[in-house]
Amino acid sequence: MTLKEHSKHSKITRPAYGNFGRNEWAIVGAACGAIKALADALIKELSSRYTCAYVDAQHAKADEEALLPGRLGSGAIVEYTDQIQYHQFDMKRELNAFQFRHLFNDSDLVLVNGNHEQAKAQVVIIDASKKASLQKRLPQLTNVVLFLLADGMEEVYDFLQEAIPDWQAIPVLKLSETDKVIAFFQEQMQKARPKLKGLVLAGGQSLRMGQDKGAMRWHGKEQRYHMADLLDEMCQEVFISCRPEQQVELDTNYNTLPDTFTGLGPYGAILSAFREDPDAAWLVVACDLPLLEAATLQHLVENRNTSVNATTYASPQDGFPEPLIAIWEPKSYPVLLSFLAQGYTCPRKVLLNSEIHLIEAANANTLRNVNTPEELEQVQLLLQQKTTY
């Protein structure tokens, strides 16, 4: 019997991961000491703005017996130690790309010692002492973004010119020009900043209100469209999140995004947005915020921190993060899924247990939502007072 290729899985958009993260560079062409020195310089400079990680391997001598540390030698597969200044995990198991991506999910930038591991982009050092070694690594050079000339080197090797298409378009710097190398990586990270898309949450059933909150007209049009118009001023694309059966009712001039994670409320809407585009950041706004203004949203965007899971406002009532007036970064997608796998569907709980950037609103009233007829009367009074000034 001939086995056919398995192809029954659903096709969904995959995040732009490499072996470890979205933004990763293998440094090749030099001794490990030089690679580590370059990585140290880059991390020291970039870590104030980006979460950085480094991947390497230990050199083991052939005549040394591999001794497992701590309880691993007794048969444990994982040992965790709180080292006070840092946390240490020792693992006795093989790790694959799927597991590495989970472990490195918080990292904005991953530098890799290319003598031991591969990455989806490469920085090639031109060093005479490693010329022969570099020739053997030509198959690894799939996406070279930078050449670095070590001391005494003046040009890119002929064999690299022959093997790398359009090599002339790749920047060439001297390895000793640390400031220029750092500037190159700063530019790369700026280019990699996730695009911002908007999501108006309009799929709720409004049971406490007794009428569809998204269809209420606070500002001359249905609130879901008013909110979409506000987001359109600061987002690349805007979608109105809805239940699948609502989609036919909505104005076709607006993009709609029906829930694909059903029965989970706003949590499912956020997950559905990331399923649509896992590499975008999503500015998520509930449709029951009649006092929300463009200035409040703009303040959120201006204070966005892409290195954390989310940027959000502190609630005026209890100081807790507001999950439904927030920018959720791409790295929050696997975090949301992991909470779901543990039986939690509260987006605020995710924020409370994740790295976030919490800011204060200049006007607390703009964060006020309306869920009941009583709250409706209070907000109507505030809106009337506002229009009289």
Mean pLDDT, rounded, for 48-74: 83
The CATH number for 309's domain is 3.90.550.10
Is the per-residue pLDDT at 381 higher than 80? no
The CATH number for 170's domain is 3.40.50.300
Does the residue 13 lie in any domain?
Answer: no
**Higher local confidence (pLDDT), 220 or 195:** 195
Mean pLDDT, rounded, for 118-141: 96
Q: Are residues 313 and 254 in the same domain?
A: yes
Structural domain including 134 reads 24-58+70-191
**Which uninterrupted H or E stretch holds 382?**
helix 373-388
Q: Which phi and psi (to 5°) does residue 110 adopt? A: -125, 120
Q: Are residues 208 and 171 in the same domain?
A: no
Share the mean pLDDT of the chain. Answer: 90
**pLDDT for res 134:** 96
Cβ(353)–Cβ(294) under 8 Å? no
Determine whether 4 is exposed, middle or buried from the number of CB atoms within 10 Å of its CB (0-12, 13-18, 19+). exposed
Q: Are residues 119 and 265 in the same domain?
A: no
Query: Could you read off the pLDDT of 244-283 as tens digits, one per residue?
Result: 989 998 999 999 999 999 999 999 999 999 999 999 999 9
Q: Are residues 176 and 211 in the same domain?
A: no
CA atoms of 176 and 38, how far apart (whole Å): 9
**pLDDT for res 216:** 74
| Domain end position, chosen among 135, 168, 191 | 191
| Structural domains counted in the chain | 2
Q: Are residues 326 and 267 in the same domain?
A: yes
Q: Are residues 315 and 376 in the same domain?
A: yes
Query: Could you read off the pLDDT of 181-190 as tens digits, one per residue?
Result: 999 999 999 9
Q: Are residues 292 and 359 in the same domain?
A: yes
The residue among 333, 304, 324 whose CA lies nearest residue 367 is 324
pTM given for the model: 0.91
Tokens of 120: 């989806």
| Domain end position, chosen among 157, 191, 225 | 191
Q: Are residues 136 and 215 in the same domain?
A: no
Does the residue 85 lie in any domain?
Answer: yes
Of the listed ranges 45-49, 69-73, 180-184, 337-341, the least confidently predicted one is: 69-73
